[in-house]
Amino acid sequence: MKKINCIAIDDEPIALSVISQFCLRTGGLDLLTCSEPQEGLQAVINRQPDIVFLDIEMDCLNGLDIARKLPASTCFIFTTAYIRYALDGFDLDAADFLHKPFSYERFKTAVEKAVRRLEYIRNEKECIIVKQEYNNVVIPVSDILYI
């Protein structure tokens, strides 16, 4: 598996520690952690990571606002204790939503979903993403026969 560059933005050190441990356990994930939201946004702009793990309720800058500012090519996963933001997350096209505290298995599933999305985007320059219930489905334009 190709090394996947990731950034985690969360104002809680324990949450960053959990994400770091899960990334190490998964393997193939190169993680930079940021406890300051503004610093994290700047790191995303500078480094152009593949995946961003993003908390929502943080001091001084909301994760939803950060998600709106991310480059279009960035795949992000919300990691928050507040389930009420789930629909907002999917409206912003998040790859997944991890409700704290989350298990390693749930983390791994979210990362796999994000990696599949990244592979589709890299392999198929022309594709569309449609919502199917609470999932995002990537469809290569070349596969579309009729609309």
- Rounded to an integer, what distance in angstroms lies between the CA atom of residue 119 and that of residue 129? 13
β-pairing, 4-9 vs 29-34, is parallel
Find the farthest-apart pair of alpha carbons in the chain and give their distance in angstroms, rounded. Answer: 49
Please report the pLDDT score of residue 89 as a whole number.
76
Q: Where are the domains of the chain?
A: 4-143
Helix (H) or strand (E) holding 48: none
Both structure tokens of 31: 């993680």
Please report the pLDDT score of residue 53 as a whole number.
98
What are residue 51's DSSP bridge partners? 6, 75
28, 117, 71, 91 alpha-carbon torsion, rounded to 10°: -130
Q: CB atoms < 10 A from the CB of 7, how many? A: 24
Please report the pLDDT score of residue 125 as a whole number.
61
Print pLDDT tens along the chain (147 aa). Answer: 579 999 999 999 999 999 999 999 999 999 999 999 999 999 999 999 999 999 999 888 889 999 999 988 789 999 988 888 777 877 888 999 999 999 999 999 999 999 988 887 776 567 778 888 777 787 877 788 888
| Fold adopted by 4-143 | Rossmann fold (3.40.50)
CB 52 within 8 A of CB 61: no
